[in-house]
Structures are given as structure tokens and as C-alpha cells.
A and B are shown apart, each in its own frame.
Chain A
């Protein structure tokens, strides 16, 4: 927490209910620094994904969800923003690779750029598609078949394609919900490498159930347990000298 980086996302007194279940309980004091990899770890059911889905308000797609508290993006309250505008600034990659399977690889990236009116010029669009595919190290694998359906790619390639799709919109923050849990080891390593490269230009909030992954690639880490924020801070400090007994047990694999 002793860092001079500006804060992108702040969370104060956040409570989330899904139906009658109180999923996030008074999460407070969380501050995500710009251009860092911020991992959220915790056991299953601790509220990691719910917290992540609150940051782009996709949680509101669940009609049973009720959110109270304050989350700011660059100091602006996200709950008073147009959710569509918020989601263009805060991108998201899901656990299950979810490209638009019938759409071409090219259109998977180009569609939102065109639909959101961000890029209209075809040459510029091609340039962006190429650049983000290169960024996720997918260009060499797909450049000869950009017009084939995205559903034909392997799971790992699909996951890198959806990362490229999110990056094309140039979000300030990229939310990643266990992005390596459904892909093979080789692709998982590629995605981890990509995350460490991306931190130079973007803030990444990564949900993981794997403390080793958090230790390997994150700058900061938060530990959630049963919907409560137990502690957070620079990864090295949390892992070497955790201030809470529960955190210590979790990183040692005993929770």
C-alpha cells in the first residue's frame, strides 16, 4: 500500500446480495493502483467473481442482485455512470472462453469497434485487429484464416482471441475471471506471460483460486474469505508476512 501509483478503482463499504445470500460483506478500503496486476484470491464461494462482476456492473444482469456501497473509477462513482460507457472503460475476460463462435476471427474483434462507433475506417480497423492479435501472440497462428469462424479455434486460442477482443477497445482496466482455468498448460503459460506484459499499459484485476498464480504474476493481492476482505497489499508482503492468520493458512494451502 506504500506505493505512489495513482489509484484506478476504490471500494468502500461494498455489500452485495444475490437473492437472500449476502455474498460480499462490507468490503472496504480496497484501492487498485494503475498499471498493475491486482489479484483477488480466495477459496470457492468467497465472493471473488461477484466482486469482479461488480467492477463493470455486469452483476446487474442477475435480477436477484442487490448492490450497496461505493466503487469509484478514477474517482467517479461507477453506479452513477451509464453501465454501457463503464463497460467500454472496464473490459472483461471470463473463465470460459466465449468468442462469438459463428462470427469470423476478424469480426470478433472488429464488431464492437464498429458497433460502438469507435473506428469506421476499414484500413484502421485492419490495423487494430492485427495489432491486438500480435499483442496476444495469436497473429502468427490465425493470420491466414481471419475469415474462418472463431468457434473452430482451440480453447486456448479462443481465450487469447477474447483477450484481444477486449484489448481492442483500449480499456483502462481489464477484469479477468480465472482466465487460465479452462485452458491447457501451454496456453495458460502464454496467458500468464501476456498478463505480465500488459501491465505496462493497463490495469489488470485477476481473480484466481490458485495462490501460486497470484504469487507468480501479481503486484498486489487481496484475500477474500466468506465474502469478507481479510487483507490486501503488495503480493510479496502478503505472501511473506501475512497480517492475518486466515491468509497465512490459505497461502500455505491449509484453507
Chain B
């Protein structure tokens, strides 16, 4: 028996180590190559415009950071209220056909290929409605991707408050809006986590942006309707370019993007440790 236990332990340990390996390898490669670029380019890398190809200059990724912040911010502004209202409906009317359909749709949407979402949004909003390759088109694509993540997380976060305090709130003669506010407030730790997870998800999304953003990166978007570029698309285009300085910029941008996403996940962990219902 002891030998069998030792075998199972070593198998599970080996599998776990194997799962860790690519994570640390990717993180190590990005950290090493990215740090070299950032050390060479300095903090100006975060603010300057991208360099001309085939030169010795590294320039920076200021324009694409601005583009990413703009479209992620707009996507969050669209997706957050829609997700929370949908999550509240699913939570408060869980047995109704619309709530059941909503929950099933969210489960399907979360697994939907994001490249298909990108091309569909481009066809509908970019071409048919004439929004073109604009910040608004890109943020709609990202919002469609974010909504199921945030909604599902918010529904889960409100499950315990629904069980614990819903009847109590209704028994106080509160109208549905006030009952909803209590459920949302009681589950706020998990709800904030849901918004942050959605944000982290769309910050690194590349596929839908290939259809909805410009591949010229020296653009400073100044309105929702102006063309925009984004960090993941710059990484994609520069990494495949034949120019050494662009490839270096791609490494630097990869490190910046990884740090942003990691930063969001740390915020998620912190909000989780502070949130959640007390027993």
C-alpha cells in the first residue's frame, strides 16, 4: 500500500510540476527579454510613440497603451452595468424562463471563440452600422467578451446573499430595487472580483481586435469614433515583423501587458480576501 501511495504522490507531483513549467518558462522569457528592452528604453517606453522600422530606436508604446486603456475603459463602461443587471435578474428570478435562458446563454458565450465575436462585431457595427475601425467598435467586441465572465462571477457572488438575506429583505416590505441593492451590497466582494476578472480577460484579448482596431500604431485616439490601436495587436504585428527593433518592442510590450494582467489578478486576490460573506 505504501508503495502505491508513493507512486500516486510522485505522479501527481510530476503532473503539477509539468503544469507549472510552461507558466514559469513563459513568464521567465517575457520577464528576461522584456526587462532588457525596458532597461534600454527607460520609463519613456510607456509614453513614447512606436519607432520607425529598421532603425536603432526603440521608441515606446505610449499610443497603444492609450488605445488599450480607452477601449478597455469603454468596454467596461458598457459591460459592467449590463452584466450586473443581468446577474441581478438571474439571481432574483432564478426560476423564470428568461433567467434560465440568460444563465445558459452566458455559459455558452463564455466558451465562444473570441475571433468569431470580433468578426461579427466588425461586420455589424464596423461595416453595416458604419462605425468602422473605431474605438467604439473595438470596445463593443471586448464588452461582448467581458459580459459572460462578469455576469457568471456576479451570479455566483450573489448566491449566498440570496440564500441568507433575500427573504428577510422582502419580508421588510422593500421594493425589488432596494432588495436588489442589498443583495448586490452583500455580495460586493465577489462582484468586484467579477468585474476585475472580466477586465483582465479583455486587456489581453487579441483575436477580436485584429478585426476592429488599426494595425498602424502611431495613432492617438481622441474620441470614441476615432481609429485606435492596442497593445496585444502591436505585439502580434511587431513580433512577426522582420525588423529587430520592432521585435524588441514586442518583448517590452509583452512584459508591460503581463504586468498589467498580473496586477489585476493581484487586485482580484485582495478583493477576494476582503470580500465574501462572514460566517
Contact = CB atoms under 8 A, between A and B. Distances in A.
Nearest to B172: A112
A58, A85, A101, A103 pick with most chain B CB within 10 angstroms:
A101
Given A88-B173, A102-B186, A112-B173, A162 B168 contact: yes
Interface string A91-105: 110100011111100
A101 B172 contact: no
A87 B172 contact: yes
B175 A98 contact: no
Contacts of B171: 56, 58, 87, 91-92, 94, 166
B74 interface: no
Interface in B153-179: 164-175, 178
Q: How large is the interface on B (under 10, 10 to 19, 20 to 34, 35 or more residues)?
A: 20 to 34
A91 B168 CA distance: 10
Nearest to A91: B171
A169 interface: yes
B278 interface: yes
Contacts of A100: 165, 168-169, 182, 185-186
Q: Chain B contact residues: over half helix, strand or loop, or mixed?
A: helix
A79 to B, nearest CB: 16
B160 to A, nearest CB: 10
Interface centre among A56, A112, A116 (most CB of B within 10 A): A112
A151 B165 contact: no
A165 interface: yes
A234 interface: no
Contacts of B175: 84, 115
A116 B167 contact: no
Contacts of A63: 95
B167 A94 contact: yes
A31 B85 CA distance: 43
A152 B278 contact: yes
A103 B167 contact: no
Nearest to A88: B173
Given A98-B164, A98-B168, A151-B277, A112 B174 contact: yes
B278 A101 contact: yes
A111 interface: yes
A58 B173 contact: no
A101 B175 CA distance: 20
A242 interface: no
A116 B174 CA distance: 7
A111 B185 CA distance: 12
A58 B185 contact: no
B29 to A, nearest CB: 43
A43 interface: no
A149 B278 contact: yes
B278 A115 contact: no
Contact of A84 (B164, B167, B173): B173
A112 B181 CA distance: 12
> Which of B166, B170, B172, B278 has the largest number of chain A CB atoms within 10 A?
B172
B188 interface: yes
A61 interface: yes
Contact of A169 (B168, B172, B182, B278): B172
A151 B278 contact: yes
Nearest to B277: A101
A100 B186 CA distance: 7
A85 B175 CA distance: 10
18 contacts: A56-B171, A58-B170, A61-B167, A84-B173, A86-B173, A87-B173, A88-B172, A94-B168, A98-B167, A100-B165, A100-B182, A101-B165, A102-B277, A111-B178, A111-B182, A112-B178, A166-B171, A166-B172
Interface of B: 95, 164-175, 178, 182, 185-186, 188, 277-278
Given A63-B95, A87-B171, A116-B174, 10 more contacts: A58-B171, A88-B173, A91-B172, A98-B168, A100-B165, A101-B164, A115-B178, A116-B173, A152-B278, A166-B172
Question: Sorted from nearest, which 10 A-B pairs have the closest CB atoms?
Answer: A88-B173, A87-B173, A151-B278, A92-B171, A98-B168, A112-B172, A115-B178, A63-B95, A84-B173, A102-B186
